[in-house]
A and B are shown apart, each in its own frame.
Chain A
Amino acid sequence: MGGWNPECKTTNISGIQSNLSWFWWISTLVPVKSYCDSTNLGLGKSSARAGQRVGAPSPRICHNADTASELLWAVYALVQVLHQSDAIEFYQLGDSWEQWLNYTKTNAAKVSIPDTA
Chain B
Amino acid sequence: MNTSLTSTQVFYRGNGRVCSVVDLNQTLLPSDQAQNYSCEGGDTALLDDPYEGELFTWWLYFFGGLSNADKQDLWKVKRPQLQAVNYTGSIVNTSYDDPVLTNYSGDPVKGKKIGPITVQKGYYFSSHESWKLLEMPYLDVPIVKRVFDNAERVRTCNSVLMGKNAGMFASVNNITDPTTGQIDGYLGPAGIPSVAVNQEQELDVITPYSVFPTILSNLSVGVAWYKNMLDARGMQNPYGSTESTRRDGTGISAFVSWDSKVTTVNALLGGVSRFVRAQMEQDSIYHEFINVTTTEYNRVFGNGKALSGEDVELCLPDFQVPVANVSDFTMCSNASAVSRAGNA
Chain A residue with the shortest CB-CB distance to B37? A111
Query: Which B residues are in CB contact (< 8 Å) with A116?
Result: 1-3
B7 touches A110 (CB 8 A): yes
Known: A10-B230, A11-B236, A70-B135. A77 touches B30 (CB 8 A): no
Q: Is B11 an interface residue (CB 8 A)?
A: yes
0/1 string, B8-47, CB within 8 A of A gives 1: 1111100000111111111100111101010011000111
Q: Most A CB atoms within 10 A — which of B9, B41, B236, B328?
A: B236
B12 touches A114 (CB 8 A): no
A64 touches B6 (CB 8 A): no
B123 touches A110 (CB 8 A): no
Known: A68-B56, A69-B56. A5 touches B236 (CB 8 A): yes
Return A13 CB to nearest CB of chain B, in Å: 6
B135 touches A81 (CB 8 A): no
A108 touches B59 (CB 8 A): yes
Bound CA span A16–B32, Å = 47
Of A58, A105, A113, the residue contacting B32 (CB under 8 A) is: A113
Query: Which A residues are in CB contact (< 8 Å) with B176?
Result: none
A62 touches B40 (CB 8 A): yes
Q: Which A residues from 1 to 25 make CB contacts under 8 A with B?
A: 1-3, 5-11, 13, 16-17, 20, 25
Known: A13-B268, A25-B266. A77 touches B279 (CB 8 A): yes
Bound CA span A117–B4, Å = 8
Count residues on chain A whose CB falls below 8 Å from chain B CBs: 68
Count residues on chain B whose CB falls below 8 Å from chain A CBs: 102
Bound CA span A115–B273, Å = 41
Bound CA span A117–B223, Å = 63
A80 touches B49 (CB 8 A): no
Q: Is B142 an interface residue (CB 8 A)?
A: no
B238 touches A80 (CB 8 A): no
Known: A50-B123, A59-B27. A9 touches B5 (CB 8 A): no
Of B6, B52, B320, the residue contacting A113 (CB under 8 A) is: B6
Bound CA span A112–B32, Å = 9
Bound CA span A79–B340, Å = 42
A54 touches B21 (CB 8 A): yes
Bound CA span A93–B287, Å = 28
Of A47, A80, A109, A115, the residue contacting B11 (CB under 8 A) is: A109
A108 touches B275 (CB 8 A): no
Q: Is A88 an interface residue (CB 8 A)?
A: no
Q: 6 pairs across A/B with beta carbons < 8 Å?
A: A1-B232, A16-B268, A45-B52, A47-B46, A48-B41, A49-B45
Q: Which 3 A-B pairs have the closest CB atoms?
A: A109-B64, A69-B56, A51-B188
Known: A2-B233, A29-B262, A69-B57. 18 other contacts (CB 8 A): A2-B235, A16-B265, A42-B186, A46-B126, A47-B45, A49-B21, A59-B26, A62-B40, A63-B24, A65-B56, A73-B136, A80-B279, A111-B31, A111-B35, A113-B5, A114-B3, A114-B6, A117-B3
* A binding-site residues for B, Cβ under 8 Å: 1-3, 5-11, 13, 16-17, 20, 25-26, 28-29, 31-32, 36, 41-42, 44-51, 54, 56, 58-66, 68-70, 72-74, 76-81, 104-117
* B binding-site residues for A, Cβ under 8 Å: 1-12, 18-27, 30-33, 35, 37, 40-41, 45-47, 49, 51-60, 63-66, 123-124, 126, 128-129, 131, 134-136, 171, 173, 185-186, 188-189, 198, 208, 223, 227, 230-233, 235-238, 240-241, 257-259, 262, 265-266, 268-269, 272-273, 275-276, 278-279, 282, 320, 323, 328, 331-334, 336-337, 340
